[in-house]
Structure 1
Amino acid sequence: MSWVKKLLILSLISILLGLLTICGIYFYIKDDLPDVSTLLDVRLQTPMQVYTADAELISQFGEKRRIPLKLTEMPPLLVQAFLAVEDTRFYEHPGIDIIGIFRAATVVATSGDFSQGASTITQQLARNFFLSREKKIMRKIKEIFLAFHIEQLLSKDQILELYLNKIELGQRSFGVGAAAQVYFGKTVHELTVDEIAIIAGLPKAPSALNPVRSASNARARRNIVLGRMLDTGVIDKESYAQAIAAPVTSKLHGAQITASAPYIAEMVRQEMVGRFGEEVAYSEGLQVYTTVHSSQQAAAKAALQQNLYNYDERHGYRGPLSRLWQATLAETDDSGVQFVEQEPLQRDAIVNYLSNHSGLEDLHHAVVTSVSEQTATAILADGSDITLEWDGLKWARSFISDDRQGAAPKSAASIVAPGMHITVRLHNDSWRLSQVPLASSAIVALDPHNGAVRALVGGYSFNQSQFNRVTQAKRQVGSNIKPFIYSAALEHGYTLASIMNDAPIHQWDNNAGIAWRPKNSPAVYDGPIRIREALAKSKNVVSVRLLRGVGIDNAIRHLQRFGFSASDLPRNETLSLGSASLTPLELVSGYAVFANGGYLVNPFVVDRVLSADGEVIYQHNAAIACNTCHKTEPEQAAEVLPEDAEAQLGQLFNELQAADTPEQPTKDELDLADQVLAPQVISEHNAFLIADALTSGVWGGGSWKHGTGWNGTAWRLQSLKRRDLSAKTGTTNDFKDTWLSGFTPNLAVTVWVGFDDANRSLGVANWHANMGQQQSAGAESGARTALPAWLDFMRTALNGVAETPLTVPVGLSSVRIDLQSGLLSRRNDYQTSFEYFKPGTEPTQYATADIQQISFDTLQQKQPDSETKEDIELF
């Protein structure tokens, strides 16, 4: 008993000394321990996510990939897998695992090896938030004390949730949500048992064990995790057997992008960094909602890319990217086709070769394996075989230059041969020989009422070029400038019925020593022509004469009202033909003025920004075009635009208060207090007249039945069968830039096509015998090159949208005129039509034929049988 008593006393002394030692260590390091209460308000570094207006993900930006999840949002099997391999007694221990600590201490004491961790999930959380990964005793001691503090502060579920969202899992992924996306392209609920085990095994060594870097290491670790899951009863033997036999297939995945708008995403990134700074933009989990609608964005991208493919095919095939095996001539048959003999590469070698080539957009790399009379077979990078039918090959005559193409091919063998490395794309459910387009393009769609960008594509592929041609490429606009010149003319005494002389101009230039001879394109001259018809037909010489009538200085001042910079507007007569250089975004903003009744709206892409908690921290308050709201005088608005919205609203409230009316403000007036009004830069009358004239650019005029019918340059848009389309084509000298800008009352759209090299012409496409009516031969122009993309986009964008006729402003008059002279007419046949006029600008004289008709009618009333109509006309 004495021996037992001494042993008990010794034990108590040892325990007391241990406790005193622990207390001493605690007070020694107490001041160095961080405040764990910060975990109560922890903000995980999460990337910024960019969405469409209908909540489709466009992109995300940030150093760390993280998808924060609530514990209840995680599948129970995933949580149990982590507990099985990392901390089986998590819900029982107070933050540290005594058994694990003694085991690690024994290893250190006996071998000096610090590799044994024994850290609980709580300790790992403490380390991840507050400490380094260095394997030192003092760090371990701090980790233990922090774990006790955390357990006192947070519940077990809170600790586990933080851990599973914070843990580093390799490839810049943090948390289980991000890991599931990065390694498998799935949400956590889509993971299989073996994939869950792979992710649960990553915390031990995220870099060495991730399945992308080392499938063998990942498999070995996965199997250990599966064993622990089986031992702890998380899975049964059947599930274990299936998971252990599953192959490790993983590759890096980006965010689950559901809407392709990379140019918009980059615009948003730049704006957010400028507004909030890089640290907030990239790590505070901002949710940015744009003005873009996913369906319209998809339609814009498809229209632009298909249009570029069509242009590229018109100008010929530039040949294969390379030859994997170069054959030698063996014999020639009667048709001149060369047959070759050489051992081709094996399938595995071809697939391995193709795996090193990344596709661009919808283009796939392939290697031709065999060729028959009018078909070819090829292997894709995934090892599958495809067949290229004649319809997917026959376009591929050889490219000689931008203006010349080779003869139409007669067989597949004259286009491709075995061993050729080519690119193909799937079009209308069949494979088609293709190539990366060399020409560029841009398309932008705008809501004319507030400037919201509904769709924007800045080039064929953002992965090919990050240069945003919508916002950065200033290109000559060609005839797209004419509506603005004609708008200026309407402000200086002209009407849509005014007659101009469509005849060649020859003006001697003393400085240059040559004559300036602007020409129509095509070089057809109609003589006396009404302004409406001249605009619709895009008559160059009429535009020049109008500019002369208005005056260059007056015209430039008028064009500046549309937001165009004076530095982009040449101070000479070439301005009337489109020598001004503007971006597509600037141009579509100008056209929006005609669509909305005369108001200049500012384009924007960010509608609102939410914090990680869903709180709105920024809301764009767009200036709106409102014909029924308070109006500023157009002339004043053009010269002195308000510097900020508050000044404009202040003026509005002052005028409302000063109004001599006892009535209470209407609901519309109260709602207006929350809106900013866009400045009115041209009159509603002017905007309507140009918009209405541009409908003639689509539908033309005259009578086809009587041989007087004519088409506008955008007549191909008639296929949309809508009367609410206003459009204008544009082509610059030597076909270097082509445009189509147009609008409905609710959507303004501009398309540009050209080469990034501004000196390169889009050229001419010759007749192609294989294509028949499928082709568009001739010089590339706005109507041939840019219009098809505009048409394809609007076909989707306007699908299901009711036709919205232009609203005729109050005060405009509509009178019947003679189509030849522009004078008044009382006739109602094909030689006359109604035309709109601003008050006081209507013609006052009648056409000669009408005067004769009046005389005849009067005479018939007095002497019905005295003379015939023909007698009077002959007289």
Structure 2
Amino acid sequence: MKIFKKFLQILCICVLLGCIVLAGLYLYVRSDIPSVAVLKDVKLQTPMQVFTRDGKLINQFGEKRRIPVKISEVPQPMLNAFLATEDNRFYDHYGIDPIGIVRSAIVLISTGEKRQGASTITMQLARNFFLTREKAYIRKVKEIFIALHIEQLLTKDEIFELYLNKIELGNRAFGIGAAAQVYYGKPLQELDLAQMAMIAGLPKAPSALNPIRNPERAKNRRNVVLGRMLDEGYITQAEFDEATNKPITARFHGAEIELYAPYISEMVRAELVAQYGEEQAYNSGMRVYTSVESKVQQAAQQALRDNLYAYDMRHGYRGPEAVLWDSETEAPLDEPQLIAHLQGLNPLADLHGAVVMSVDEQSVEVLNELGERFTIEWDGLKWARKFITQSRQSYAPKSAADILSAGAQIWYRFDNDGRPLLAQVPEASSALVSIDPKDGRIKAIVGGYSFEQSQYNRAVQAKRQVGSNIKPFIYSAALEHGYSLATIINDAPINHWDKSQGVAWRPKNSPAKYVGPIRVRRALAQSKNVVSVRLLRGVGVDPAAEHLLKFGFHDEDIPRNETLALGSASLTPLELARGMSAFANGGHLVEPYFITEIQSAEGEVLMQARPYKACSEEQKRSNEMFAELAMLEPSSASEGNPDNTDSTETTDTQLPQCAPRVISKQNAFLIADAMTSAIWGGGSWKHGTGWNGTGWRATRLKRRDLSGKTGTTNNSVDTWFSGFNANVMTTVWVGFDNPGNPLGRTSYNNNLGKGQTFGAESGAKTAQPAWIDYMRVALEDEPAAPIEPPEGLESVRIDLKSGLLSHQNDHTSRFEYFIKGTAPTKYVEKAPPVIFETQGQDEPELPTEDELF
């Protein structure tokens, strides 16, 4: 009995000392223990996600990949895997596991090493949120006290849920939701038992046990997890045997991108970082909804690529990317070597690498990175005549041996019918931007062929000379200075002596054809260079330049000389599209925007776009009326407002913001209507007076509601096409990133037959095909949206040759629009004679458009 009493005394003393020690330790570390109350309102670091307007994921940005999940969404086998491996008594203890601590102490005493940490799930959560992974006793003490605080504050399920979402699992994946996506490319609910066990085994050492970097070690760890689940009764022997025999299926998966649109997502990233800073932009889980529509964005990207392929193919094949062996003197490399080499290539856009294994008369057999052999037939090869220069191509090949030999490393892609086609990486560049002219919403934007190849966004960064795309703005200035669409201007060569330079300036048409007196409508539709110069002279260079500035262009980009009439101004595609939209929306200058809404991780709306719209006169009057009401009668304006909020602000947010008017709606309509003639032409083909506009290829869309304008600069360095209806405004640019590199010309390819494009590159041949392909999709199933004539116009029948009023009701006349009070008052008596200036008549053949601005 005395011994027992002695034992109890010693035990009490030990307990008392232990309590004193614990109290002392707590007092010692109390100042370093953070408040765990933040866990009640914890905000996990989640990446910024960027979506299309219709909710498809474009991209995500952030240092950590995380897909938060509720514990109710986690399959029970995965919960069991973590419990069996990390803390099987989790639901029984109060944050610390005495049994685990004793076991860890025994290992420490017996081995002298800290092999087991005895950390519960709660303690791991404490470390992950507030501490480091350093193996130090004082850290363990802090971990215990924080864990006890957490257990008092949160329920077990809340703790487990936070743990599962916070834990690091390798490859920048944090939390089990992200790990399932990163390693297996699917949600948690679709994982099998072996895959769940693999993820559950990662917390011990995310890098060392990573199934991508160390598959064997990962497999061993997975089987340990499965063994623990078997020991604890979570799975049967049969399930254990099946799971342990499964191979490693993990591989790296990027984010679940539904539409890869890197140029617009990079615009969003830069804007959000500038607005919120990197920490909040990358880690607060913001969801950004862009203005682009997935269907038309995809169409824009494909149209731009296909157009660059077409340009590149007609200029010839530059040869294989590399020659891996000489087919005449060297033995072929082994297939495993070739496959490994091909897998090391970085695919660009929709191009894939392959190696030519054998060459037949009119086909080649190739091997791709998957180890698949297939044949590229003659239809996929015959385009590939040899490239000499941008303006010279060799003869059309007659056999596959004229193009390739075994050992050649090539690029291939698939045509619209799914057949393989020999390809090459385009050297030319391009950009496409499409906006809603009513409010500036960017519907689609593409800044180049491949973001991986170049992050330079040509749609918003590249200022290039616009060529004849400037002419609608010059003609708009002319309408402001007394001209009309029926005004007759002399289409004849200009020979202007420049005293300061000591040379003559001779702007000329392309093609070098002149028709003498011509109406302004037809001159714009056929892009007559000399008429544009004459109109600029009639308006005056400075007044015309000031008029162009109304469309949002910058003064430094608008030259104050006569080359302005031929397109020497330098603009980005977006700037040009914005300015051209004024003709589509009735004369308003809209502000392009690409973010419609920003939400927080909790779904709170942080920002919602309020674009400036092209308002009708009725809308503007309504705005003014409500503004006056809010300022003059605040009491009545706030009537029925129980929260006593600022009714002025409330009313303002319900009304559209009106974009400023920069030209009259009559001026806007007349230019837009004249630009329809650039597509559909005029005259009577039956009577031999028919003519095409420069954009006639767009007639294949079979829509009468389209207006358009081509543009080609000096020596075909830059080519453009801009076109629109009331709902869509799209501009396409094609050129080289080096501004001095001309796009050149091509000769007829005997292998391709009818329908091919050849001759000098121009806006109609080089840029317009991409515009057509895109607009075919953008306007699919859309009703006609013509630019409607506003009030303030009158329509009268005029004579096509003189522009005067006509009594005729035949092919010699047409109805023309005029601003009221500007229509001709005289009737034609007889057709005026065709008069050419005598200057320049004896000059040699004139240059083509590619030598003009």
TM-score relative to the length of structure 1: 0.91
* Residues 428, 734 of structure 2: 8 Å contact kept: yes
Deviations 1:390-420 (A, max 9, x none): 1111101100000000110111111111111
Deviation at residue 849 of structure 1 after TM alignment:
4.6
Letter in 2 for 1:806: I
Letter in 2 for 1:577: L
Change (3 A) 1:655 1:105: closer
Letter in 1 for 2:665: E
Deviation at residue 670 of structure 1 after TM alignment:
6.2
SS in 1 for 2:365: strand
Change (3 A) 1:807 1:547: same
Deviation at residue 229 of structure 1 after TM alignment:
2.2
Query: Given the alignment, which residue of 818, 842, 846 partners 2:799?
Result: 818
SS in 1 for 2:538: helix
Whole-angstrom distance in 1 between the partners of 2:689 and 2:683? 5
Deviations 1:733-763 (A, max 9, x none): 1000000001110010000000000000000
Deviation at residue 177 of structure 1 after TM alignment:
1.3
* 124-133 vs 223-232, which moves further: 223-232
* Residues 354, 410 of structure 2: 8 Å contact kept: yes
Whole-angstrom distance in 2 between the partners of 1:590 and 1:27? 70
- Name the residue aligned to 1:116: 116
Deviation at residue 19 of structure 1 after TM alignment:
2.6
SS in 2 for 1:467: coil
Residues 1:591 and 2:601 aligned together = no
* Residues 738, 785 of structure 1: 8 Å contact kept: yes
- Name the residue aligned to 1:370: 358
Whole-angstrom distance in 2 between the partners of 1:619 and 1:690? 34
- Name the residue aligned to 1:332: none
Deviation at residue 9 of structure 1 after TM alignment:
3.4
Letter in 2 for 1:817: I
Equivalent runs, 1:615-630 vs 2, <5 Å: 615-629=604-618
Whole-angstrom distance in 2 between the partners of 1:657 and 1:179? 57
Letter in 2 for 1:506: N
Deviation at residue 157 of structure 1 after TM alignment:
0.7
- Name the residue aligned to 1:705: 686
Change (3 A) 1:627 1:757: same
* Residues 260, 297 of structure 1: 8 Å contact kept: no
- Name the residue aligned to 1:439: 428
- Name the residue aligned to 1:159: 159
Residues 1:396 and 2:384 aligned together = yes
SS in 2 for 1:801: coil
Deviations 1:287-308 (A, max 9, x none): 1111011111000000000000
Deviation at residue 71 of structure 1 after TM alignment:
1.4
Query: Given the alignment, which residue of 679, 702, 713 partners 1:732?
Result: 713
- Name the residue aligned to 1:412: 400
Deviation at residue 712 of structure 1 after TM alignment:
0.5
Deviation at residue 213 of structure 1 after TM alignment:
1.4
- Name the residue aligned to 2:280: 280
Query: Given the alignment, which residue of 542, 556, 577 partners 2:531?
Result: 542
Change (3 A) 1:769 1:591: same
SS in 2 for 1:837: strand
* 293-302 vs 231-240, which moves further: 231-240
Residues 1:384 and 2:360 aligned together = no
Letter in 2 for 1:653: A
Residues 1:106 and 2:94 aligned together = no
Equivalent runs, 1:138-217 vs 2, <5 Å: 138-217=138-217
For structure 1, list consecutive stretches of 5 or more residues without a partner in the other structure.
329-340, 633-647, 852-875
Whole-angstrom distance in 2 between the partners of 1:523 and 1:269? 48
SS in 1 for 2:179: helix
Deviation at residue 41 of structure 1 after TM alignment:
1.2
Equivalent runs, 1:182-261 vs 2, <5 Å: 182-261=182-261
Deviation at residue 651 of structure 1 after TM alignment:
9.6
Whole-angstrom distance in 2 between the partners of 1:657 and 1:11? 83
Deviations 1:122-154 (A, max 9, x none): 000001111111111111111111111111100
- Name the residue aligned to 1:484: 473
* Residues 474, 535 of structure 2: 8 Å contact kept: yes
* Residues 740, 787 of structure 1: 8 Å contact kept: yes
Whole-angstrom distance in 2 between the partners of 1:443 and 1:36? 52
Whole-angstrom distance in 1 between the partners of 2:392 and 2:574? 33
- Name the residue aligned to 2:591: 602
Letter in 2 for 1:59: N
Query: Given the alignment, which residue of 792, 816, 829 partners 1:848?
Result: 829
SS in 2 for 1:817: strand
SS in 2 for 1:593: helix
Whole-angstrom distance in 1 between the partners of 2:337 and 2:323? 14
- Name the residue aligned to 1:495: 484
* Residues 630, 637 of structure 2: 8 Å contact kept: no
SS in 1 for 2:684: coil
Whole-angstrom distance in 1 between the partners of 2:242 and 2:488? 84
Whole-angstrom distance in 2 between the partners of 1:716 and 1:415? 32
Letter in 2 for 1:797: A
Letter in 2 for 1:480: N
Deviation at residue 655 of structure 1 after TM alignment:
8.8
Letter in 1 for 2:454: S
SS in 1 for 2:598: strand
Deviation at residue 33 of structure 1 after TM alignment:
1.4
Deviation at residue 349 of structure 1 after TM alignment:
1.4
Whole-angstrom distance in 2 between the partners of 1:773 and 1:73? 60
Whole-angstrom distance in 1 between the partners of 2:180 and 2:41? 26
* 52-61 vs 650-659, which moves further: 650-659
Whole-angstrom distance in 1 between the partners of 2:477 and 2:619? 24
SS in 2 for 1:304: helix
SS in 2 for 1:370: strand
- Name the residue aligned to 2:815: 834
TM-score relative to the length of structure 2: 0.93
* Residues 720, 795 of structure 1: 8 Å contact kept: yes
- Name the residue aligned to 1:680: 661
Whole-angstrom distance in 2 between the partners of 1:519 and 1:616? 56
CA RMSD of aligned residues (A): 2.1
Letter in 1 for 2:818: F
Deviations 1:570-614 (A, max 9, x none): 111000000000000000001111000000001111111111110
- Name the residue aligned to 1:426: 414
Residues 1:449 and 2:430 aligned together = no
For structure 2, list consecutive stretches of 5 or more residues without a partner in the other structure.
640-649, 833-853
Equivalent runs, 1:308-327 vs 2, <5 Å: 308-327=308-327
Whole-angstrom distance in 2 between the partners of 1:657 and 1:832? 55
* Residues 631, 680 of structure 1: 8 Å contact kept: no
Whole-angstrom distance in 1 between the partners of 2:411 and 2:76? 46
* Residues 446, 459 of structure 2: 8 Å contact kept: yes
- Name the residue aligned to 1:653: 627
- Name the residue aligned to 1:511: 500
Whole-angstrom distance in 1 between the partners of 2:542 and 2:398? 58
SS in 2 for 1:250: coil
Query: Given the alignment, which residue of 524, 533, 548 partners 2:522?
Result: 533
Deviation at residue 236 of structure 1 after TM alignment:
3.0
Letter in 2 for 1:46: T
- Name the residue aligned to 2:846: none
Residues 1:348 and 2:336 aligned together = yes
- Name the residue aligned to 1:556: 545
Whole-angstrom distance in 2 between the partners of 1:790 and 1:189? 44
Deviation at residue 317 of structure 1 after TM alignment:
0.4
* Residues 64, 172 of structure 2: 8 Å contact kept: yes
Whole-angstrom distance in 2 between the partners of 1:710 and 1:72? 71
* Residues 825, 850 of structure 1: 8 Å contact kept: no
- Name the residue aligned to 1:613: 602
Deviations 1:486-517 (A, max 9, x none): 00000000000111100000001112211100
Letter in 2 for 1:510: K
Residues 1:523 and 2:515 aligned together = no
Whole-angstrom distance in 1 between the partners of 2:240 and 2:9? 52
Change (3 A) 1:299 1:224: same
- Name the residue aligned to 2:782: 801
- Name the residue aligned to 1:643: none
* Residues 468, 710 of structure 2: 8 Å contact kept: yes
